[in-house]
């Protein structure tokens, strides 16, 4: 079996179970259309018109992966993105990424939950998507866009259901510091480190009292980066009474950059970390901004997406994250992502190798 055929067989083993929403007499196979959209996204394209143009102009390259006579039309791709079930597509995406992470023999320790953040009031921005990002493998493990009537909290809980949490620690901001999230994480074998702010004022008061009354474990770290001096201190006390499932500790991180006013942040954790671990893990949470969201904005133009109808926004978000994962694994670390996208667009061998690598 050729390398391309092996890759397609692998893709179909995960995405083949996604229900095809089209009529039974549809001309193109669902799996072939998904491969076309993935390949096009790797080359920097972002909409149905470009998907159709790529399928027409790059048939020689795509024929190494799939077989088709006439290129699908813009309407074919547009209709598929609008009708495809994003929950089923999201489950297939999560299973596919989990298999690749296992094959790479790396188990991410820290998994950050964060939504895409857009400028307030910018109505033209793409809809909300909550992603889970593994700090060590730098892979997006899962993503969910809330359906009608749902919010970010519900989307984050759905993300948790999609990933294996064994041996992993979930970090998230204060919106997700609640009993349902703690229960969902611990029931799936994971640990958590959740930011604690004023939206949980009784818990916040309890944390401050315990940190004031007890003798915490303390560690400091001083670093110089990009011409800035950064100082951090972690203080940890064991929780005398768990406030939610699995709760074992309160953590206070105090940081200062150069001569600026110190910033104090509080966290609840399901494991009694060392102060040095607490410093490392709270910093790892924000890798999702540079490692995922910045790449989606700058290189895959997610901010410019105008997909708005039906399921198209959620499915485009999943395609972007799938393309981002493939690009992340496509080359050695010192090759810029922008160069990888251009190499996919200009070099058929590089494009095919990038897709076949993710199997």
The structural domains of the chain, ordered by start, are 3-87+307-357 (no CATH), 106-291 (3.90.350.10)
Question: What pLDDT, in 10s, does the model give residues 139-161?
Answer: 899 999 888 778 899 999 999 99
pLDDT at 108: 41
The average confidence (pLDDT) of the chain is 87
Rounded-to-10 torsion of CA 169, 137, 150, 303: 140
Report the sign of the C-alpha dihedral through residues 33, 39, 42, 47, in that order.
Answer: negative
The tens digit of pLDDT for each residue in 330-354 reads 888 889 989 999 999 999 999 999 9
Closest Cα to residue 179, out of 247, 278, 249? 247
CA distances from 12 to 64, 224, 236, 317, 344 (A): 15, 48, 48, 20, 22
Buried b (16+ CB within 10 A) or exposed e, 289-326: eebbbebbeebbebbebebeeebbbbbbbbbbbbbbbb
Cβ pair 275, 218 in contact under 8 A:
yes
Q: Which of 288, 332, 331, 298 is nearest to 138 (CA)?
A: 288
Distance CA 62, CA 75 (A): 20
Provide the terminal-to-terminal Cα distance of the chain, rounded to the nearest Å: 14
Q: What is the pLDDT of residues 85-98, one digit of tens each?
A: 999 999 999 998 88
10 Å CB burial of residue 125 (0-12, 13-18, 19+) is middle
Strands 263-269 and 249-257: antiparallel
> In this predicted model, what pLDDT tens digit does every residue of 251-272 receive, in sequence order?
999 999 888 899 999 999 999 9
């Amino acid at each position: 079996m050729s390398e391309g055929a092996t890759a397609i067989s692998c893709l179909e083993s995960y995405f083949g179970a996604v229900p095809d929403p089209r009529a039974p007499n549809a001309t193109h196979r669902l799996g072939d259309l998904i491969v076309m959209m993935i390949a096009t996204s790797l080359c920097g394209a972002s909409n149905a018109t470009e998907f159709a143009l790529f399928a027409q102009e790059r048939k020689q390259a795509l024929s190494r992966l799939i077989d088709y006579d006439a290129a699908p039309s813009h309407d074919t791709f547009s209709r598929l993105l609008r009708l495809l079930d994003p929950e089923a597509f999201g489950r297939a995406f999560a299973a596919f990424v989990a298999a690749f992470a296992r094959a790479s023999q790396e188990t991410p320790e820290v998994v950050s939950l964060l939504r895409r953040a857009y400028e307030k009031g910018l109505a033209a921005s793409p809809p909300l998507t909550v992603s889970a990002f593994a700090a060590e493998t730098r892979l997006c493990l899962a993503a969910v866009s809330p359906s009608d009537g749902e919010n970010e909290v519900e989307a984050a809980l759905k993300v948790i259901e999609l990933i294996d949490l064994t041996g992993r620690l979930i970090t998230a901001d204060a919106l997700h510091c609640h009993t349902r999230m703690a229960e969902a994480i611990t029931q799936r074998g994971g640990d958590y480190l959740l930011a604690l702010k004023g939206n949980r004022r009784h818990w916040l008061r309890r944390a401050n009292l315990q940190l004031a009354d007890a003798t915490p474990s303390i560690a400091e770290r001083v670093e110089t980066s990009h011409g800035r001096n950064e100082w951090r201190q972690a203080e940890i006390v064991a929780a005398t009474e768990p406030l939610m499932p699995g709760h074992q500790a309160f953590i206070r991180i105090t940081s200062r950059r150069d001569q600026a006013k110190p910033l104090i942040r509080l966290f609840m954790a399901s494991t009694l970390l060392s102060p040095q671990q607490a410093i490392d893990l709270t910093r790892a949470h924000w890798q999702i901004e540079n490692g995922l969201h910045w790449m989606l904005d700058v290189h895959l133009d997610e901010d410019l997406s105008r997909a708005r109808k039906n399921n198209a926004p959620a499915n485009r978000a999943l395609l972007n994250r799938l393309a981002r994962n493939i690009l992340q694994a496509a080359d050695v670390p010192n090759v810029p992502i922008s160069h990888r996208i251009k190499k996919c667009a200009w070099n058929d061998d590089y494009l095919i190798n990038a897709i076949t690598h993710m199997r």
